[in-house]
Amino acid sequence: MKRILITGAAGFLGSHLCDRFIKEGYYVIGMDNLITGDLKNTEHLFKHENFEFAHHDVSKFVFVPGQLDYILHFASPASPIDYLKIPIQTLKVGSLGTHNLLGLAKAKKACMLIASTSEVYGDPKVHPQTENYWGNVNPVGPRGVYDEAKRFQEAITMAYHTFHGLDTKIVRIFNTYGPRMRLNDGRVLPAFIGQALRGEDLTIFGDGSQTRSFCYVDDLVEGIYRLLLSDYHQPVNIGNPSEITISQFAEEIIRLIGINQKVIYKDLPVDDPKQRQPDITRAREILGWEPKVSREEGLKITYDYFRNLSKEELYKSKHRFE
């Protein structure tokens, strides 16, 4: 039986990856320090014979006994609210954490896949974004702690690949959504749905002309699974190239939920990207992958998940970081 370590296992993406690899017949070791993750996301696996959970911060030395075939490094704050509140931890998990896990992969002769991000492109001057674009990033701006942590993560991973011959993969993840997202994670989709469910007006930052491209979580997981089992080592964009403005997206949410709230506008945060759309030519050609779930279908599933949260959770989602 193949054994895989998944860091950030109690997070949104990490927990879905645990589900997928359990389903594929792997023995899964989920690791998380719970600084932004939630055990509720993985508790359904606790009684599974092929799953174990380790409460640990990968920024410190990581030890896993026995055979280890794969490592998926998904431990990191991933939303602006989080990494602006905990900037040092964000930098550490991308640098020290990645270094520790690469050392573990080298010792175990394991394949390691890192979760990079479309944020390595910064506020892009190339559209759509291809993997060959080097980005437009402000290293000392408020988002720099996340952007540069991920850029360093890519650099050290490639160094281990070229110098030590380590089997490595790099996935650049674009906006992803689905069940188990946190309503208070600061990203536009849960923010809009949370406001709608609480009867509040929907808040758009900027004039609403900025664009995003939303990929449903099951599609993303499929792309990551294919990349891990491939023999490709350069970065690969995984996301949905269907681009939409934030204003159009707010209108979609209003129609989906059937509300009559207003849309209000506030100042755009510093260095917030104006455009975000992946070029997935590489994923199509190398992995035979492209998204299958329409935004309409994915939004219905995600809305149903959020709608079933308790009123207490809905209220806490607004006030956790205030």
- CA distances in angstroms from 16 to 235, 241, 259, listed in the order given: 21, 22, 30
The one catalytic residue among 27, 121, 146, 177: 146
Is 146 a residue of the active site?
Answer: yes
Residues belonging to the active site: 146
